[in-house]
Amino acid sequence: MLKRYFPLSILLCSVTFSCGDDNSSDDSSADDCRQETQACAEGFVCQQDTTGIYSCTIEEDVGRGGDTAGTENNAGDENNAGDENNAGDENNAGDENNAGDENNAGDENNAGDENNAGDENNAGDENNAGDENNAGDENNAGDENNAGDESNAGDESNAGDENNAGSENNAGSENNTIDPNAPCNESSTSCPDLDWVSIDGGVFSMGSNNGETDEQPVHRVEVPPFQMMRSEVTIEMYRSCVDAGVCTPLSTFSAACTWSDTPTGKENYPANCMTWFQLRDFADWVGARLPSEAEWEFAARSAGGEATYPWGNDAPSCDRATFMGCSEATTVVCSLPGGHTAEGLCDMAGNVWEWVQDEYHDSYNGAPTDGSPRCSTINCSADMVSAPFRVLRGGYWSGETNYLRTTYRNSASPIVEYGFRGGRLAR
């Protein structure tokens, strides 16, 4: 299911923009046209109205602008795209104009992505199990070989200070190398300094029986060793890719967006208002990739433990995470050590939602069990018109505490930005 939510605090948006994140609602309906048994007849598309209900709509009405386009995937959020007053700003993504297409495709996404594609999903998933697993395995294989780079493993001998993921932090921070074959090595600007943390592989039970329905069924996953960035991608890191002429500037349509054309005092804040495609382009440039959803959850749970939150089972507090009531916007990365994982990963809860590779499905039925991403295409490739929804993890600065759980899942169109979205990389 697609979840939709509206944050309880104002997102510092300008008055010409609607605020809110998408796909976070827990509502469901037996008449939901996203369900395979309720699929729309020919000439109709599955469309979400302003109340959050999905119903069949005459195809010619979709993309007519304003409210119809706006209700597409992210009723609250997408109103920013649908709001023609914001068209000037939305056009900065160029993609939001595709939002017309996206809206058509958006519904197809919903339809294709989860419900109508129930069969396709299973089929796609089994293809995943073939293609994606091969792709995932090959990716992981390459990366895992890096992870064999347990340059940290040596460092983890420092884990003698085990108490302090802080010591392992220091261990991890020695591993700042960029793949020598990464395209950024050939750029006019230098590669950014990325801090990699080695995560030992293992077997864990992914999902939760105490959460949302899309966190089920709980299933056994074997994750190979890999490395993950200690922090979320920062403005400074991303700027180096923009300066090299490879990445596109991030959106500034809202006051919640931290990007600026010239460096400011927010260079160490997480890059936000970022699409899935922008994060993917940055990953390609530095010779890395987006983590799979299984890798992300395994890392957030400190190598697959049973903790409800990255720091353990204690209730969220403002000294552990940036969430609703703690800040009016994002905060400097890695500034809350009380919320770090045992391996020293920062901000795995709060600050910004983090994109992962996987396409969104409303359950784990048919999900890979080898730690690879769940995609219907080889290497999770996608185009901007027909791209299915992607998974987001970790909660954000204005979100409720439920979103901070290590098993909570969100989803969104990969071409939509907003102030809530960023991410970190793996290899």
Question: In angstroms, rounded to a whole number, what is the distance separating the alpha carbons of residues 156 and 165?
Answer: 10
Token pair recorded at residue 379: 């290497």
Task: Tell me what pLDDT residue 43 has.
Answer: 67
Domains of the chain in sequence order: 120-422 (3.90.1580.10)
pTM for the structure as a whole: 0.61
Task: For residue 412, count other CB atoms closer than 10 A to its CB.
Answer: 29
Token pair recorded at residue 291: 């983590």
In one letter, which amino acid is 227?
Answer: Q
* DSSP sequence for 286-331: TT-BPPPHHHHHHHHTTTT---SBTTBSSPP-TTT-B-TTT-SS--
CB 400 within 8 A of CB 8: yes
Question: In angstroms, rounded to a whole number, what is the distance separating the alpha carbons of residues 379 and 289?
Answer: 10
Task: Tell me what pLDDT residue 83 has.
Answer: 37
Token pair recorded at residue 181: 């074959």
CB 359 within 8 A of CB 366: no
- Distance separating the N- and C-terminal Cα atoms of the chain: 29
| DSSP helix/strand/coil, 222 | strand
Locate the DSSP E strands across 54-190.
54-58
Task: Give every residue of the chain whose pLDDT is below 70, as ranges.
Answer: 1-33, 35-39, 43-45, 49-52, 57-175
